[in-house]
Amino acid sequence: MDYIEVFKTNLVSITDAMELKHVLRSIDKRLNIHFDLDDCDRIMRVKGPAIKNETIVRAAIEVGVFCEVLPD
């Protein structure tokens, strides 16, 4: 079963989003990552095999991106 999680970020450019996507895909190439930078929460949706939210948040912080799980 796939993991699906939605995160709030502070991304402002597609370039930064693609950099974060590259970092996350280096953790697991099976992750499917989409961004909605027009949303007020600058959404990042991650779908794929189970991965800890903390791993995603930590990877984002390492590249200078604020990231937190949005509550359901």
Domain tally for the chain?
1
Structural domain boundaries, residue 41: 3-69
Q: What is the pLDDT of residue 50?
A: 84
Q: What is the pLDDT of residue 72?
A: 77
Q: What is the pLDDT of residue 1?
A: 63
At 15, which CATH number? 3.30.70.100
pLDDT in tens, the chain (72 residues): 688 999 999 999 999 999 999 999 999 999 999 999 999 999 999 999 888 999 999 999 999 999 999 987
| HEC string for 1-54 | CCEEEEEEECCCCHHHHHHHHHHHHHHCCCCEEEEECCCCCCEEEEEECCCCHH
